[in-house]
């Protein structure tokens, strides 16, 4: 089968593309830049969605880019790169003569209010309290396609761990130098997933006819993992101490207060519907995931 993926050129998209191709599917990307096996967003708006079996959106300006200041123009890019691309794909799906059978977007667990104690399943409320939660609500609303020709799935992802990008790529050097450690108290929940499992859940959602609605994209061990657990596990795999806490004021100074909450607070997210849907994790616990990433 043929799948189309917006933002498929990125960190998660790379893992998903490889997994789908290994499973015998053909994959093409929707990108800002033309190239082999790609169409651009302009092409998509102009000529519509070419016939395909599934569509995925993974596009999004990197929120934790430390080189970009948190100002109005950055916020606009963060929102538009997610909500507008999702609207463009949803519109193309709605207007397609042969609509895809499945349509999957990856949003975030920022939908749920950070708390050291509350546990969230896919049915829990959210989406109504800060910039990121409202962004996820608008992003998921933008994905809605009328009718039932196309099965719709939203994967709310936690912090994605992998070798090629995301949080670990940003933290590896400080940890290698023995300068890594928990963020602030380290007691905040750390909702994580291995990139191979996030790609696995998206592929499962594309292929399994019964899967629909929201799936939490976190590991089964994520609800009981704290930021301190993560720092210790990473230090131990790297054979380095992970004792130096990064103070909250440093995180706020580098990222600005809005983004700092993503690092200084967290949510205990349970992948209830994901497991009920029959998805089998390859990396259910942190030692297994980190061993695989850093080997
Ligand atoms: N990584 C995480 O920890 C994490 C956690 C939760 C949710 N997510 C979500 O999962 C999705 C994929 O994450 P990722 O880590 O794979 O992202 P990524 O590698 O940073 O970026 C994915 C792709 O988005 C496109 N893109 C970037 N900036 C854009 C802009 N301003 N306008 C339009 N397109 C833009 C790029 O594709 P082109 O250059 O080809 O256009 C890029 O390859 C994102 O929506 C992200 O919000 C990620």
pLDDT value, residue 104: 98
Instruction: Give DSSP secondary structure letters for 26-90.
Output: EEEEEESS--TTEEEHHHHHHH-PPS-SEEEE-----TT-TTS--SHHHHHHHHHHHHHHHHHHH
Structurally, how many domains does the chain consist of?
Answer: 1
State mean pLDDT over 36-65. 96
Q: At what angle do helices 227-237 and 286-294 cross, to 10 degrees?
A: 40
Q: How far apart are CA 70 and CA 92, in angstroms?
A: 32
Asked if residues 109 and 274 have their Cβ atoms less than 8 Å apart, the reply is no
Does the structure show a pLDDT above 90 at 78? Answer: yes
Q: To test ligand 1's pocket by mutation, which of 14, 39, 58, 219 has the most ligand atoms within 8 angstroms of CB?
A: 58
Ligand 1 lined by 106 (C-beta under 6 Å): yes
Q: How many C-alpha atoms does 265 have within 13 Å on its Cβ side?
A: 16
pLDDT value, residue 126: 98
Do you know the residue count of the chain?
295
Residue 128: strand, helix, or coil: coil
pLDDT value, residue 29: 97
pLDDT value, residue 294: 93
The pLDDT mean for the chain works out to 96
Give the distance (Å) from ligand 1 centre to CA of residue 57.
9
pLDDT value, residue 170: 87
Does the structure show a pLDDT above 90 at 3? Answer: no
pLDDT band, very low/low/confident/very high, at 4 (cuts 50, 70, 90):
confident
Q: How much of the chain exceeds pLDDT 70, in percent?
A: 100
Does the structure show a pLDDT above 90 at 295? Answer: no
Structural domain of residue 11, as residue ranges?
Answer: 2-294
For the stretch 95-130, pLDDT in tens is 999 999 999 999 999 999 999 999 999 999 999 999
Q: How far apart are CA 50 and CA 133, in angstroms?
A: 33
The pair of structure tokens assigned to 80 is 């538009």
Q: Which residue has the CA at smallest separation from atom 28 of ligand 1?
A: 61
Q: To test ligand 1's pocket by mutation, which of 60, 74, 162, 205 has the most ligand atoms within 8 angstroms of CB?
A: 60
For the stretch 152-177, pLDDT in tens is 999 999 999 999 999 999 889 889 99
Give the distance (Å) from ligand 1 centre to CA of residue 13.
8
State mean pLDDT over 231-236. 95
- The CATH number of residue 284's host domain is 3.40.50.720
């Amino acid at each position: 089968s043929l799948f189309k993926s917006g933002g498929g050129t990125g960190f998660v998209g790379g893992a998903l593309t490889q997994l789908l191709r290994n499973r015998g599917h053909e994959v093409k990307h929707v990108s800002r830049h033309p190239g082999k096996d790609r169409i651009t967003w302009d092409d998509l708006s102009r000529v519509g969605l070419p016939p395909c079996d599934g569509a995925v959106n993974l596009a999004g300006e990197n929120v934790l880019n430390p080189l970009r200041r948190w100002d109005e123009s950055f916020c606009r890019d963060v929102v538009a790169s997610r909500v507008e691309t999702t609207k463009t794909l949803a519109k193309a799906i709605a207007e397609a003569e042969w609509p895809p059978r499945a349509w999957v977007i990856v949003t975030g667990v920022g939908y749920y209010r950070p708390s050291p104690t509350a546990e969230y399943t896919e049915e829990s409320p959210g989406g109504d309290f800060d910039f990121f939660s409202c962004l996820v609500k608008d992003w998921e609303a933008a994905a809605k396609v009328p009718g039932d020709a196309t099965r719709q799935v939203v994967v709310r992802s936690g912090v994605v761990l992998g070798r090629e990008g995301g949080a670990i790529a940003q933290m590896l050097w400080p940890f290698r130098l023995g300068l890594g450690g928990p963020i602030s108290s380290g007691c905040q929940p750390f909702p994580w997933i291995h990139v191979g499992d996030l790609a696995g859940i998206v592929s499962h959602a594309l292929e399994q006819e019964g899967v629909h609605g929201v799936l939490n994209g976190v590991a089964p061990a994520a609800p009981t993992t704290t930021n301190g657990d993560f720092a210790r596990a990473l230090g131990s795999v790297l054979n380095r101490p992970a004792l130096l806490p990064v103070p909250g004021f440093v995180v706020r100074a580098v990222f600005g207060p809005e983004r700092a909450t993503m690092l200084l607070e967290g949510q205990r997210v349970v992948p209830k519907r994901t497991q009920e849907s029959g998805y089998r994790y390859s990396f259910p616990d942190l030692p297994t995931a980190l061993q695989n990433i850093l080997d």
